[in-house]
Amino acid sequence: MSGHEHEHPTAPMNRRVGILERALVSRGVISGEQVDGILELFGREMGARNGARYVARAWVDSEFRQLLLTEAPAVLREFGHDLRGTSNPELARLRLVVVENTAVTHNLVVCTLCSCYPVPLLGPPPGWYRSNEYRARAVREPRAVLAEFGLPLDDSVRIQVWDSTADSRYLVLPMRPAGTDHLTEDQLSELVTPQSLVGAGIPLCPQ
């Protein structure tokens, strides 16, 4: 698991936003639930829709899947999400690593320093991802954390925790749900949840 060598360039701003959010909540101007609701909406309708699109295509196209796992930054640049400087000039060194969940390995993403997150692909990080509790416990007891998210894993499944750094982001390629062979790529993308893209959940089951 990688450690932090440099502070993320936007970390001071993240801290100021966090202080402002806590002040507004403590004064009753807004509620924590309202903040989480806005973040969830933004993530579902904007950022996470992008990540879901890549996952769905990887599920139906084995060649694309291999490229995503081995050359994710190049794939994203081709499809309009340049994480190395064009669309995010303040993060010129940023790279994306895609890790794949399998029947024997489950990946979980955390940022132990602040809340580093692939925003163009997932939207803003939700409150639980930014919380001190998640950032500490995801590393120390990931199996228990996943169980609390409603994802109990058998002891035979190895859990790999990935710590986002100042210059790296991680995206989880979840396993394709069973019984989806008849679904189109667009329909598959609707099954991909923001939580499944960081390993804190799994895709929805088809109705």
Query: How do residues 128-155 score in pLDDT, each as one tens digit?
Result: 999 999 999 999 999 999 999 999 999 9
Q: Which letter does DSSP use for residue 205 in this model?
A: P
Do residues 140 and 152 lie in contact, with contact meaning Cβ atoms separated by under 8 Å? Answer: no
Q: What are the phi and psi torsion angles at 36 (to 5°)?
A: -65, -35
Token reading at 76:
């994203």
pLDDT at res. 7: 42
pLDDT tens digit string along 59-80?
Answer: 999 999 999 999 998 888 787 6
Which residues on neighbouring strands pair with residue 95, listed in sequence order?
168
Q: Looking at domain 11-197, what is its CATH homologous superfamily? A: Nitrile hydratase alpha /Thiocyanate hydrolase gamma (3.90.330.10)
Closest to 4 measured CA to CA, from 198, 166, 118, 131: 166
The pTM is what?
0.75
Those residues with Cβ within 8 angstroms of residue 114's Cβ, 6 or more apart along the chain or in another chain: 7, 8, 11, 14, 15, 130
pLDDT at res. 186: 94
Residues that are catalytic: 111, 114-116
| Rounded Cα gap, residues 190 and 185, in angstroms | 9
Catalogue the E-assigned strands of 82-207.
95-100, 105-110, 158-163, 168-173
pLDDT at res. 103: 97
pLDDT at res. 50: 86
Question: Confidence band (pLDDT; 50, 70, 90) for 91?
Answer: very low
Residue predicted with more confidence, 117 or 176: 176
| Rounded Cα gap, residues 147 and 139, in angstroms | 14
